[in-house]
Amino acid sequence: MALLAVGVSHRTAPVELREQLAVPGERLPALLAAMRAQLGADEVAMLSTCNRTEVYLSLPDGDVPPGEQARRVVEWLAVQQRVAGERLQAALYAHDGDEAVRHMMRVASGLDSLVLGEPQVFGQMKDAYAVAHQAGTVGKSLERCFQQVFAVAKKVRTETAIGANPVSVAFAAVSLAKHLFSDIGDTRALLIGAGEMIELVARHLAENGVRSLTVANRTLERAHALADRHAGRAITMDEIPYALEQADMVISCTAAQVPVLGKGAVERALKRRRHRPLFLVDLAVPRDIEPEVAELDDVYLYTVDDLQGVIDSNVKAREAAAREAEAIVAERSAQFRVQQREQGAAETLRLVRARVEALRAAELEKAQAEIARGGDPAEVMQRMSRALVNKLLHDPSVVLRQAAADGREDLLEFARALFAVGDDGSSPPGGDA
């Protein structure tokens, strides 16, 4: 079995190229089946996310070098996804054998993610395996590989702090909210803006089960697009004062050059809220929320600078945890390499045992027939044992004589070790008598 991992990621390809390579979930099973058939792979799986597209293949052992196999994958993907082959080749990376396994372990553990240690990729890797398994394109080789990858990712999550601390502003804002509210699932969130940062905030809030989500934006259409993705509602900027009355938290990030939320609007909302506390996070630069809002009672206002200090310390903590994670990956990938070699030995032993068993059965059948015809059992057993030994040693003897003629002392030494004999023909210490 030859394992190959080929792909592009945020480290090698711009978002425009990654978008072209992304494969919708409903199309993936058919693509996997076609890839296996047309590329001559025994098994195949694909991971396709916003940050990476990777193909994992188990290929028959042969004369085709890994680099050539990778080139074939690239050409095939380029045609399927209508991407310029030269552009895809420039962004490509390929790993084979042990390095492919190690790469998969690092990906699943969040060590190769845009945000170090992010947990979503572990679930995405499990989904990729599940889809391939359902499509029938995963067999014993990738099965063993994926199970080891999942075990390592789980070990990294449980034995290191790589995912314990937020390292993105959006995640940090939501994490802060989780600390301030006893049950974030019972809170109402008002998001101001509809850009990438607010999109991340909305996703984190939705994943944490926030009770309701309202998105306010100057362009109502963009607000609707974002709100609809997270079962929320969209409003215009003019409706913010009314939305403030119901919100428990407000997170804002727009491109406005002047504040979009002033002290007066917040003060009026607090009166109608009967001074129920309000949590606000201003992620914008320039700021969206007037600094004077922090002077109001029952208001907790945080800026991006307040979060950045937490993030910086958390990045250092994650980097330290990442070193521990890398050690786990190195150890487990080495163990998997040994297991794979043992699997190879097991298959060879099975074939050898089957051949020896066939020879034994044939000689036994002859001996039983001779005894049935009246032959002396002792003489028959003697002939059977000599014949069996001669047949077992015939092919090894031919190979060893040729090895001696060719000066292959390494094969002769290997034979002595294999049959556990010393130079004088005796068994070495500790061997069977």
* pLDDT tens for each residue of 363-395: 999 999 999 999 999 999 999 999 999 998 888
CA distance 338 to 319: 29
Q: Given a cut of 80, is residue 425 above it in pLDDT?
A: no
Q: Are residues 187 and 221 in the same domain?
A: yes
Residue 23 lies in a domain: yes
- pLDDT tens-digit profile of 111-147? 998 778 888 889 999 999 999 999 999 999 999 999 9
Q: Are residues 231 and 291 in the same domain?
A: yes
Residues contacting 325, CB < 8 A, separation 6+: 109, 111, 117, 156, 160, 162
Q: Are residues 262 and 382 in the same domain?
A: no
* Burial of residue 6, with CB atoms counted within 10 A of its CB: 0-12 exposed, 13-18 middle, 19 or more buried: buried
The residue from 15, 30, 37, 50 that is catalytic is 50
Residue 432 lies in a domain: no
For 219-227, what is the mean pLDDT?
95
CA distance 123 to 113: 13
- pLDDT tens-digit profile of 60-112? 876 667 778 888 888 898 888 888 888 888 889 999 999 999 999 999 999 99
CA distance 10 to 323: 21
Residue 266 lies in a domain: yes
Coil vs helix vs strand at 346: helix
Domain's final residue, options 147, 164, 181: 164
Q: Given a cut of 80, is residue 347 above it in pLDDT?
A: no
Strand order in the sheet with 249-252: 233-235, 212-216, 188-192, 249-252, 278-282, 299-303
CB 161 within 8 A of CB 318: yes
Q: Which residue, chain included where needed, has tokens 């050539």?
A: 68
How high is the pLDDT of residue 432? 44
Question: Pick from 68, 36, 156: which is nearest to 106 by CA?
Answer: 156
Q: Given a cut of 80, is residue 13 above it in pLDDT?
A: yes
Q: Are residues 382 and 302 in the same domain?
A: no
| Prediction pTM value | 0.63
Q: Given a cut of 70, is residue 235 above it in pLDDT?
A: yes
Domain's final residue, options 134, 164, 194: 164
Any alpha helices (H) in 3-139, and if so which ranges? 15-21, 28-39, 66-81, 85-91, 98-108, 120-135
Mean pLDDT of the residues in the chain: 89
**Chain mean position to CA 244:** 41
CA distance 408 to 428: 22
Q: Are residues 156 and 207 in the same domain?
A: no
Residue 92 lies in a domain: yes
CA distance 362 to 135: 44
Quick check: is 145 catalytic? no
Q: Are residues 221 and 146 in the same domain?
A: no
Residue 321 lies in a domain: no
Q: How many CA atoms lie within 13 A of 396 on its CB side?
A: 14
DSSP 61-74: SSSS-HHHHHHHHH
How high is the pLDDT of residue 431? 45
Q: Are residues 44 and 89 in the same domain?
A: yes
Measured in residues, the chain has a length of 433
CA distance 71 to 69: 5
Q: Are residues 18 and 46 in the same domain?
A: yes
CA distance 386 to 278: 93
Residue 331 lies in a domain: no
Residue 208 lies in a domain: yes
Q: Are residues 108 and 149 in the same domain?
A: yes
Q: Are residues 155 and 176 in the same domain?
A: no
Domain's final residue, options 164, 199, 223: 164
CA distance 288 to 266: 13
Q: Are residues 269 and 247 in the same domain?
A: yes
Residue 6 lies in a domain: yes
Q: Are residues 178 and 283 in the same domain?
A: yes
The answer, yes or no, to whether the previous bond of 286 is cis (omega within 30 of 0) is yes
Query: CATH number of the domain that 147 lies in?
Result: 3.30.460.30
For 327-335, what is the mean pLDDT?
94
- Count of the separate structural domains present in the chain: 3
How high is the pLDDT of residue 424? 61
In this structure, the number of other CB atoms found within 10 A of the CB of residue 100 comes to 23
Residue 14 belongs to domain spanning? 2-164
